[in-house]
Amino acid sequence: MKKLFLITVLAMPLAGCGTIDRIKNIGKAPDLSPMENPAKVYGKRPVVMPMPAPQAQENQANSLWRNGARTFFNDQRANNIGDILTVSIDISDSASVNNTTERTRSSAEDSDLTNFFGLENYLGQITPGSVTSLGSTSSNRGAGSVARSEAINLTVAAVVTQVLPNGNLVIAGRQEVRINHEVRDLLVSGMVRPQDISSSNVIAHTQIAEARISYGGRGVISDAQNPRFGQELYDIIFPF
């Protein structure tokens, strides 16, 4: 009880601060986040990945061709830090699994022992009836099913935040849309190959390595859907 009381007391100031902020914002639409460095969307730590050994670049005098260039003309696709590219998110996943198992087993053993080292009479007095008949019956049945369906179709612009030594690009982007008193957040980050970016400067989410995609919201509707802090605390500490 002391631990429960201590947890409740410690949680009250945090809950109070959130409650006061919500009371101040009654009747107001949620504020949009200020524009910030996209590299800080998922923290300041740079991405570190295994890289191939660096190759020396040979100087080619009086040549229009540059080593590593994809075309003679200027490439309009994102390839440097700060460049912008479009991320197309088209997720349509579904899964259905049904499993049913059933097992039945029956066994019986019967043995007629007329003599058992002279102890058959004593056994009959201890356990009247047959002591040499054994039988068992068991059955087991289980059934389970899983059904899942997801569909997301979104487009968001991302910024190149880092160029890795092997030429791959680290991207991060965030989009906020406010409709009435509800804000929808879309965040995306990951690592892409410049070769996978289309000529229209678009990359599909299936071509993003270590992709992190988050789609959610905040506002009056989200507040109504979320449980109260007391209910969350009760679910955490209640053992039954």
State the pLDDT at residue 196: 94
126 occurs within a structural domain: yes
**Other beta carbons less than 10 A from residue 191's beta carbon:** 16
The pair of structure tokens assigned to 208 is: 């993003």
232 sits in which H/E element: helix 229-237
Tell me 41's DSSP state.
Answer: T
φ, ψ of residue 132 to 5 degrees: the values are -115, 15
State the pLDDT at residue 168: 93
174 occurs within a structural domain: no
The letter for the amino acid at 41 is: V
Best mean pLDDT range from 43-57, 74-88, 186-200, 216-230: 186-200
Whose tokens are 């906020």? That residue is: 176
Average pLDDT over the chain reads: 76
* Strands laid side by side in the 202-204 sheet: 202-204, 84-110, 133-163, 169-179, 182-192, 209-219
115 occurs within a structural domain: yes
pLDDT digits (tens, 9 = 90+) for 184-238: 889 999 999 999 999 899 999 999 999 999 888 888 787 777 777 777 777 778 7
104 occurs within a structural domain: yes
- 110-124, 145-159, 195-209: which has the minimum mean pLDDT? 110-124
Residues in the chain: 240
| Per-residue pLDDT at 176 exceeds 60 | yes
Phi-psi region of 58 (alpha: psi -120 to 50; beta: other; left: phi over 0): beta
Whose tokens are 């979104």? That residue is: 154
Instruction: Tell me the mean pLDDT in the region 39-43.
Output: 66
User: Model confidence at 8, in pLDDT bands (50, 70, 90)?
Assistant: low
Query: How many domains, in total, are found in the chain?
Result: 1
43 occurs within a structural domain: no
170 occurs within a structural domain: no
- 90-99, 179-188, 196-205: which has the minimum mean pLDDT? 90-99
Instruction: Tell me the mean pLDDT in the region 52-68.
Output: 62
SS3 per residue for 59-94: CCCCCCCCCCCCCCCCCCCCCCCCCEEEEEEEEEEE
106 occurs within a structural domain: yes
DSSP E strands in the chain: the ranges are 84-110, 133-163, 169-179, 182-192, 202-204, 209-219
| Per-residue pLDDT at 181 exceeds 80 | yes
Residue with the larger pLDDT of the pair 26 and 230: 230
User: Model confidence at 121, in pLDDT bands (50, 70, 90)?
Assistant: low
**Alpha carbon distance 90, 151 (integer Å):** 8
Contact 28, 216 (CB under 8 A): no
Instruction: Tell me the mean pLDDT in the region 35-54.
Output: 69
Domain that holds residue 130: 96-146
142 occurs within a structural domain: yes
